Structure 1
């Protein structure tokens, strides 16, 4: 179990840091280097090739979902409002919005990861790069303390693929994130088949 926990934590760590780094890179391109990004920690290298593929698949999924969420004004207003808090408590306010009823599922974890990346990028644009390190540190700690055990209970990150392939917007019922569910639902309907296909190929290669 300890080995599995370490493996699934590494995947989550690599995914979360990767999402934040990607969002910061994009904002640097838009601002033409006028925003100073903070130094980010390096995720522990993942040696297992199948886990590397899984991280890339999930990163691609988050990117597609994020592109759709970016089109929603309510989502952007929420992130902008959190930037105005201008300290690390903005992370806890974000968690409250995503997990308002305390329920955990793969969709909410994916949305949280993207939102952390988006919030970090907005903090840099607002010239508050020092807060990004705090937010990322809190995010990794929250993942380890509050989400990792759930992930282990449902079989690890590998099982996120078939779950996300049939993700339903109803899983956001009762959440303040429900207003974004039409975008999330459409995206999962589009990417779910691709993810599941990759999952099947991955499992086939292991046998």
Structure 2
């Protein structure tokens, strides 16, 4: 689990310093978050190249949208649910066939070099942390 945590931190640091992705994040506006999300998501895969790094970047972007909504006081439950639904819709419409062709979600191990149990533990931790943040904000 430690190795996966180190890998995730490294990926997060790389994404935090990616000027192109940060520019895309700056485009998120409160008046049209859905349009902005889909515009940015399409930009991530604009050249038709799919890889696990870009899939992770999509989730990172959604995470940053959620954080931005919370920080701006826009963290309504419908907006947060909407962001999750947009990710699922985009993955279903544009990325799922690539994921299936790679062997499904379990193939992400090739990106992290981790076991399924480790990936499940990390994913569960991320979900619990996000749920806690939303819960604390809405108290």
TM-score w.r.t. structure 2 length?
Answer: 0.64
Q: What is the alpha-carbon distance in structure 1 between the residues aligned to residue 80 and residue 13 of structure 2?
A: 21
1:51-200 to structure 2, matched below 5 A, reads 57=4, 61-83=7-29, 86-130=32-76, 131-162=79-110, 164=111, 195-196=112-113, 198-199=114-115
Change (3 A) 1:142 1:75: closer
Q: What is the alpha-carbon distance in structure 1 between the residues aligned to residue 49 and residue 20 of structure 2?
A: 22
Change (3 A) 1:146 1:75: closer
1:15-34 to structure 2, matched below 5 A, reads none
Of the structure 1 ranges 71-80 and 147-156, higher mean CA displacement relative to structure 2 is found in: 71-80
Q: What is the alpha-carbon distance in structure 2 between the residues aligned to residue 97 and residue 106 of structure 1?
A: 16
What are the ranges of 5 or more consecutive residues in structure 2 without an aligned counterpart?
Answer: 119-139
CA deviation after TM superposition for structure 1 residue 104, in Å: 1.8
What are the ranges of 5 or more consecutive residues in structure 1 without an aligned counterpart?
Answer: 1-52, 165-194, 203-207
Q: What is the alpha-carbon distance in structure 2 between the residues aligned to residue 63 and residue 90 of structure 1?
A: 26
Q: Which has the larger radius of gyration?
A: 1
TM-score w.r.t. structure 1 length?
Answer: 0.46
Greater than 4 Å deviation, 4+ residue runs: none
Matched residues, number? 113
